[in-house]
Amino acid sequence: MIKQIPFFTDLNEEEIKKLENISVLKNYKRDEFLFMEGEEAKWFNVLLKGTIKIYKTTPKGKEIFLHTITPISLVAELVNFENIPYPASGIFLSDSEVLRINYHKFETEFLQNPKICFKLLKSMASKLRIMNNVLQNELTLKSDAKVAKFIVENHELFSTLKHVQIASILNITPETFSRIITQFKQQNLIKFDDNLNLVFKDNEKLMNIFNV
């Protein structure tokens, strides 16, 4: 299984065995937390199956969505690398599977490998691009553009999340989300089946909404 994780494709058989000895494969249910804001980071996490929502909570208890993580991805690796508490929380949006690696031992035994370090840096750079995209969306996109962008980039989540959950992710009200979805259906930009699964989307026209 470890051989199938892109992050570890350059490891030899001996290194893979070492990694197995410091790792545990864990299954999670939807709505369980992988970590909570302020917790100490002891594990180096790799999401193998499922979806994780990363969000912060304001002092008044409001959730601020940051991004979703889908397989196969490292999760909050910057926290490990910087040795800081989690600055946000990670909750599962579906039943999921995570490879949890003892980070202290991983750092000692594997971060001497330049290929591993390079892939770790690439992954962290990718997360920085994601956060930049989040900030840009919040500062520049109107509600209909947020929904259109989410449909184009995360359409598979319409099969696993309730519309009220997607509205929360986009930081808009459920009523606003419902109105926009109705508008898009009337404009023949999207179609749903009887189970509310997204079965059609006009990517070109949807992209025109958020690329203006």
pLDDT of residue 136: 65
| CATH annotation of 2-128 | 2.60.120.10
pTM listed for this prediction = 0.69
pLDDT of residue 129: 67
Q: pLDDT at residue 130 above 80? A: no
**Token pair 């969000």 is at which residue?**
55
Domain boundaries, the chain: 2-128, 140-209
Strand extents, DSSP E, the chain: 23-28, 33-35, 43-49, 52-57, 63-69, 73-75, 89-92, 96-102, 190-192, 198-201
Q: pLDDT at residue 63 above 70? A: yes
Domain 140-209, CATH among 1.10.10.10, 2.40.30.10, 3.40.50.300, 1.10.4030.10: 1.10.10.10
pLDDT in tens, 160-178: 788 888 888 888 899 999 9
pLDDT in tens, 177-191: 999 999 999 999 999
**Token pair 């999207």 is at which residue?**
190
Share of the chain above pLDDT 70, in %: 94
Q: Are 99 and 202 in contact (CB under 8 A)?
A: no
